[in-house]
């Protein structure tokens, strides 16, 4: 249980860091989260990520993986 909580906290901190730096990560799925031997996470596959300008509030495009979209 503790390991899962640490992973979730690291993931939240990672997303928070990206958002503070105007980067929108748009490919969140289990396959894109790697776990190190020490129990830390790596977020991979930034191919769909975009960098927002200071005056933009949201992205204008839709992206998604069909396996993870609602029916």
Residues marked as catalytic: 27
Cα 68 vs. chain centroid, distance in angstroms? 14
């Amino acid at each position: 249980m503790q390991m899962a909580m640490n992973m979730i906290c690291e993931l939240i901190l990672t997303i928070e860091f990206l958002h503070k730096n105007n980067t929108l990560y748009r490919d969140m799925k289990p396959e894109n989260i790697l776990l190190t031997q020490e129990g830390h996470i790596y977020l991979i596959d930034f191919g769909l990520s975009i960098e927002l300008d200071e005056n933009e509030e949201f992205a204008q495009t839709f992206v998604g993986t069909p396996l993870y979209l609602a029916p």
